[in-house]
Amino acid sequence: MDLQFLERILDGREKPTNLSFTLLKSITQNFSDDREIGHGGFATVYKGVLPNGNVAVKRIRNSHSINEALFYREVDSLLNVEHKNVVRFLGFCASTEQTAIQIKGSKQHIYAEVRERLLCFEYISNGSLQKYITDELRGLEWNTRYKIIRGICEGLHHLHKEKQIYHMDLKPDNILLDNDMVPKITDFGLSRLDEKSKTMSEERHGSLGYCAPEYLHQGKMSFKSDMYSLGVIIIELVTGQKAIPNNNNNVLRRWRHRWKKTGNETPFVYQQVAKCLEIGLLCKEIDPSKRPYIWHLIHVIREVEGANEKISNAYEHTFGHISPYLEDDMLGIEPLQLHFPFELNNQMSCEIQLTNDTNSYIAFNIENTSPLSYHTQPQKGIMPPQSKCNVDITMQLQGKAPGYMHRANELIVWSTKVNDCIAVEDITMGMFINDAVRVVDEVNLDVVFDDNEPQESSDKSNEVSSLRILNCKASSILLVSSANDL
């Protein structure tokens, strides 16, 4: 009967209510490791399987430290929240039982109270926003990122304006994405259930990058604290980084480079990027009184969208402090994710192509930032206008598989415009520092080892095959090969 009732709640035919511990234990296979889908400092989340769909069961750890009054207050808040950008609450369990524990070496028993506090939500299959955070050059297209930003703002507006609830732990891990990439906010208010969390406890350390200064240092909680967290998320969605960008123009350059390749360049997207950066920076003001409320942001977003049809020419507008560049002046790099066909004790190699579609000379240097050994051929060079060059990247012999088969930011391609009289030997890392006159591009390369057929390790060394000869499209290109950093 309990199972059928939960099915009706999931279908929307019944309202969320209290659920039995026996039911939640059954649908998660006794909270088995195979059903675990999330783990944090506060709770463990399990997948619950029903005949008509799946649910997420959050089992709160350290239930004895939970303040009962706070628990029921937060449950009451969850019961009253219903919005497309907030994870749907299905029910709760507050089970308390007495269990007899035999005293060792005695026939006597002591009686202990076993408390279980659980929450049940709709199951969101696409995971959290965290795994989709990338820089401007890869990952989600801008339109998808903008819809996510807008959805987060609308969900937070519902919590703040309609329900008077502040989140206090807003971060990409607490924003889930459904199959249509619609964002859904989760875990609002739950971090406050533990009485220990009134001070800066260990459980909150995972959120430090998103935590408002007044909350971090003084424990002050308010709507404006959530706005700081929102600002970090917006900047991260636009740039891939939590930090405030040093140069907003450079952010737009990188987006323009991507839009040129995909044909998605329109005047409106420039305005969207600029406005998102602007509101992200405003939300990150140290002084809470200078941060906007969420209803102000919703108003700004609607104004921007209302102006879409009025924009007729991208080059007649300056969006904030950002002016669109007329020329895509970045060095093209393909691919941004390198795939090595991994085999133990064999040399592995793959190739990237650098493309200079500009009318300028561009110097580049490829830096290895990994503890693994990569050899690049060439490591640095000067590319004339309208030229291409293939760069061979070789992985040195491995006695064992690397710790991680998918490795982010293994290599960096640095590039900058130079005059035509510079020589390759003049290229130094000092050239790749942004200043008032020089624009430097830094592009990270990820590495994936494709281990389709695991290989046995062999004591016999394989002879290292010679490096492939470069296939350079421009005969006048100047190159140098080196396995060492400059």
Q: 129-316: what fold? A: Transferase(Phosphotransferase); domain 1 (1.10.510)
Of 479, 486, 453, the residue nearest 387 (C-alpha)? 479
Does 58 carry a binding-site annotation?
yes
Evaluate whether 2-122 and 129-316 have a shared fold: no
Residue 148 gets which letter from DSSP? Answer: H
Q: 2-122: what fold? A: Phosphorylase Kinase; domain 1 (3.30.200)
Q: What is the pLDDT along the chain (486 residues), one digit of tens a residue?
A: 689 999 999 999 999 999 999 999 999 999 999 999 988 767 899 999 999 999 999 998 876 667 788 888 889 889 989 999 999 999 999 988 878 788 888 888 888 878 899 999 999 999 999 999 999 999 999 999 999 999 999 999 999 999 999 898 899 999 999 999 999 999 876 655 444 444 444 444 447 889 999 988 888 889 999 999 999 999 999 999 998 888 888 899 999 999 988 887 788 898 899 999 999 999 999 999 999 999 999 999 998 888 765 654 444 444 444 455 456 789 999 999 999 988 777 888 999 999 999 999 999 999 999 988 899 999 999 999 999 999 999 987 667 778 788 999 999 999 999 998 889 999 999 899 877 678 899 999 999 988 765 444 434 333 333 333 334 333 334 455 444 444
Please say whether the dihedral angle defined by the alpha carbons of residues 237, 148, 223 and 44, taken in this order, is positive or negative: negative
Inter-axis angle of helices 142-157 and 267-283, nearest 10: 40
Q: What span, in angstroms and rounded, lies between the C-alpha atoms of 4 and 469?
A: 67
Q: Can you give the residue ranges of every domain in the chain? A: 2-122, 129-316, 332-482
User: Mind telling me the catalytic residues?
Assistant: 169
Q: What is the pTM of this model?
A: 0.83
Please say whether the dihedral angle defined by the alpha carbons of residues 213, 217, 223 and 229, taken in this order, is positive or negative: positive
Q: 332-482: what fold? A: Immunoglobulin-like (2.60.40)
Q: Which residues pair with 291 in a beta bridge?
A: none
